[in-house]
Amino acid sequence: MRKRIVASLAYAGAALTLVIAFCVPFFLMGAFTNVIARAGLHVDAAYTGGVLARTIERDAYQILVYQPFQPRALQRVEPFVQVVFQPVSALPPRVNEQIDLDGDGQPDVSVSFAVPADPRTHLHGRVVALNAGFQSLADVSGDSFSRLLVRTGDQIILRVPLNPVSRVHAH
Cα dihedral 154, 155, 156, 159 in deg (nearest 10): -160
What is the separation of C-alpha 18 from the centre of its chain, rounded to a whole number of angstroms?
40
Give every CB contact of residue 111 below 8 A, 6+ residues apart in sequence: 83, 95, 96, 97, 98, 99, 125, 126, 127, 128, 158, 160
Three-point CA angle 148, 58, 48, nearest 5°: 35
pLDDT single digits (tens) 102-114: 888 999 999 999 9
Q: Give the model's pLDDT for residue 171.
A: 30
- The predicted model gives 85-110 an average pLDDT of 93
Domain spans in the chain, listed from the N-terminal domain onward: 1-41, 46-170
Q: Does pLDDT of 83 surpass 90?
A: yes
Q: Can you give the C-alpha Rg of the chain in angstroms?
A: 26
- The predicted model gives 124-139 an average pLDDT of 91
Average pLDDT, the chain: 86
Percentage of the chain exceeding pLDDT 90: 42
Q: Give the model's pLDDT for residue 168.
A: 33
Q: 140 with 148: CB under 8 angstroms? A: yes
- The predicted model gives 120-144 an average pLDDT of 88
pLDDT single digits (tens) 13-42: 888 898 888 877 777 777 777 777 788 777
How is 94-150 classified by DSSP, letter by letter?
Answer: EEEEEE-SSSSSS--EEEEEE--SSTTSPP-EEEEESSTTB--EEEESSSSSSSEEE
Q: Does pLDDT of 147 surpass 90?
A: no
